[in-house]
């Protein structure tokens, strides 16, 4: 499913214009991004939670030259599915 598919589905189910549905989808995504950027956790009960995790620095390898390269630490987005979502995906 793409973002456009999601916008279309919301428009149909909520009886909104595609333009209004796109605003809803963009607002939800932007709100999640802003929360993660501030270091907050976003929890959607029954669906899952989003948070930023710290990834430690490490020594990597340049695949072209085989040379060792220092990869700096960084934050990465992480999604943990909720119990209900896991159950539904597994046919339960």
* 1-33 residue pLDDT tens: 999 999 999 999 999 999 999 999 999 999 999
Q: Could you tell me the pLDDT band of residue 39, with boundaries at 50, 70 and 90?
A: very high
Structural tokens at position 35: 């929360």
CB 50 within 8 A of CB 36: yes
Give the whole-angstrom CA distance, residue 86 versus residue 24: 25
Best CA proximity match to 7, nearest among 22, 23, 27: 22
Structural tokens at position 86: 């896991």
Best CA proximity match to 50, nearest among 83, 22, 82: 82
Residue 92 confidence (pLDDT) above 90: no
**Interval 72-90 mean pLDDT:** 95
* pTM (two decimals): 0.79
CB 26 within 8 A of CB 48: no
């Amino acid at each position: 499913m793409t973002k456009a598919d999601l916008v279309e589905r919301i428009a149909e189910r909520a009886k909104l214009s595609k333009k209004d549905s796109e605003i809803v989808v963009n607002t939800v995504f932007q709100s999640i991004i802003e929360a993660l950027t501030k270091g907050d956790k976003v929890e959607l009960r029954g669906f899952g939670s989003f948070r930023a995790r710290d990834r430690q620095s490490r020594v990597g390898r340049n695949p072209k030259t085989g040379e060792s390269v220092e990869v700096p630490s960084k934050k990465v987005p992480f999604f943990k599915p909720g119990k209900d979502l896991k159950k539904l995906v597994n046919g339960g």
